Amino acid sequence: MSPSQRLLQDLARERAKLRIEMTLTAVTGVGLVLALGATRLAGEQSGPVLETIGYVIAYLAGGVPALITAVRALIKRRRLSISLLMVLAAAAAALVGEARDGAILLLLFSLAESLEGYAMGNAKRAVAALMRLRPETATVIENGTRTTVPAESVRIGQRIAIMPGERVPLDGVLLAGSSSVDQAPITGESVPVDKVVGDTLFAGTVNGYGALEVEVTKDSSSTTLARMIELVTQAQAQRSTSQRFSSWFGQRYTRLVLVGSVLALGVFLLLGMPPNDAFYKAATLLVVASPCAVVISVPAAILAALARAARMGVLFKGGMALEDLASVDTFAMDKTGTLTEARMQVSDVVPFGMSRSELLRLAAAIERGSEHPVAEAIRTAGAGAGALATAAEPDRLGTSDAPVDHVTSDLTAVPGMGVTATVDGTPYWAGNRALAAANEVLLEGQVDAEVARLEALGRTLVIVGDARRVVGVLAVADTVRPSAARALAGLREAGVRRIVMLTGDNAAVANAVADELGIARTDVNAGLLPEQKVDHVARLREQGGVAVVGDGVNDAAAMATATVGIAMGVAGTDAALEAADVALLSDDLERLPTVLRLARAAHRVVRQNLTFALGIMALMVVVTLFGNLPLPLAVLGHEGGTILVVLNGLRLLAFDGGVAQRSRSLRQPGTEALAHDQAV
């Protein structure tokens, strides 16, 4: 059985366990509701019986699993867990006639355990999503014979064959053939990369149109993809400061309450207090020391904030992510698919000796048979080129009423350069500088100046020419998301100290996008592999909290290394979504500033709740020990504190954060037309 198959089996078992935990939580809630409504449902005579049944159901469903967990921790690790304290507190509440408090406590604790179980499974789900990118088999070439074998058995130095459309199984060097390879899963490049003999291929990337022979340079355990899987696993396994503190506090608080209650009972007896009164006072102490208000302080605020975020189209994978986001002061943004839409579009059309519309239609005819994304963008622009032929700009080779239907033949792809074709009987070419040189066409004067200008903007250029001259230049670029500029402005307004860009794309393209969005070029980091992104994020974390926003598999390790990973929900890959702590259900980046404010508001409410809950609990413990706190007042203080922290937390359900007002202020006139004006 392969590692990925074993991992998927583990995931299936964990999901089954989580379903059981959630079912028991629901049963606990049903039992509590049944007990609370018993008299109204069954009347005065049968009500007490139904109430008892409801509490028994709640205690069994919520208490038995917690008790089993506590016993296992005690036997296997010799540790007193918080589960034990929850069960004893609930039992003590029942013994002093307040079974309702115990049932509520068990319900909240059971719900928290279910949420924690889901969060703990994120690491394995992220690794499983990455593993699905790695093919299980590879086609090995030996003595002219091709054999399909497990990818794990392929050795360094062996030759493998990769057919069009197949995913590359192992890292290697191209020995024969040429193709266009989609490297977005690894490098994040916005367009497929042309590969010729001698170029490197990465495992997990997708071959385009050509049949390839590759010499393996890394075995399955050391490929770039395997390293990404390892990085995600290691980063997800690292425990946050809050998690470590919670574990430390839970252990000591459990011991303190248990030991303190027993010692108090002994002291009461030594002071001559009647046994019944001593037990009553000790049980009261256990009730007032029960951390119900403390336990609910965090989920009351966190769950309300999570519900509010969900209504805004943002999914947090647990309260820890919400807590961590509040401490973030730096945002590291992926470019392709995050700040941009990962969709190529013709941005500039510069004709020489013909109209813009005719140049577009001619270029579309030349690119008619190509499957390259740049060719697709040109064909799309060419299809609508008739609208450009107006009275102010008449077609020189056609009419303004309808596009010319060019006849294309002899289409030939020139790897790494472009394409050639015969259009209406005339040979044309479309490609880069190298293809122009191959056709012995010089780039001089205005043509050279326009090419240099567009290259400086980071555009992907397609130079169009015939045997004698250049007839035009088209620039193709990834489309910047309309919401990106407003989102970054909102983040700065919310107090974000620094916004940086991390991308696998080249520096020219990255700088062009950064200039458009107002990101300082000193904060642009281009040409990065996943490991380099992780290094950059690690350095940023030394200076404070960092949120990484991305959409691709190549962002997964960086997300897992960051304080908080945020994935684009619609455009995001499974691995990025699983590695991330936060997912945008839509690709609207404008949700980021609002959700950052929400996280900070939740953090403030949690601190308020904890301060109040701990203060009330400490006060009641002191009064119980050194005074005579009646049980009704103890229950009133306990329940009152719980209700107050819950109400304070529920305020977050109405959180607005000035969303509407900021949206109006950030949507300056003309912003929506920016992308349209830059396109054809």
Active-site positions read 334
Quick one: angle between helices 275-289 and 591-626, nearest 10? 160
Q: Which helix (H) or strand (E) holds 524?
A: strand 524-525
∠ CA 435-437-440, rounded to 5°: 115
- Locate 559 and state its tokens: 């997300």
Residue 54: strand, helix, or coil = helix
User: How many angstroms separate the Cα of 615 from the Cα of each of 289, 295, 621, 643, 670?
Assistant: 11, 14, 10, 15, 54
Contacts of 612 (CB under 8 A, 6+ apart): 293, 297, 641, 644, 645, 648
- Locate 264 and state its tokens: 């108090």
| Cβ atoms 256, 88 nearer than 8 A | no
User: How many angstroms separate the Cα of 209 from the Cα of each of 212, 343, 363, 655?
Assistant: 10, 20, 21, 52
Amino acid identity for residue 204 in this structure: G
Listed residue (179, 52, 185, 23) closest to 113, CA to CA = 23
Q: The dihedral of CA 624, 629, 634, 637: what is its sign?
A: negative
| Cβ atoms 228, 556 nearer than 8 A | yes
Q: How far apart are CA 387 and CA 75, in angstroms?
A: 78
Long-range contacts of 79-87 (CB under 8 A, 24+ apart): 79/251, 80/251, 80/254, 80/255, 80/258, 81/250, 81/254, 82/250, 82/253, 82/254, 83/109, 84/254, 84/258, 85/253, 85/254, 85/257, 85/258, 85/291, 86/295, 87/63
The residue written with tokens 């203080």 in the block is 637
Burial 538-569 (b: 16+ CB within 10 A, else e): eebeeeebbbbbbbbbbbbbbbbbbbbbbbbb
- Locate 386 and state its tokens: 């008739």
Beta strand 426-431 pairing with 418-423 = antiparallel
> Which residues partner with 149 through β-bridges?
138
Q: How far apart are CA 169 and CA 172, in angstroms?
A: 9
| Cβ atoms 312, 482 nearer than 8 A | no
| Cβ atoms 358, 423 nearer than 8 A | no
Q: How far apart are CA 587 and CA 70, in angstroms?
A: 43
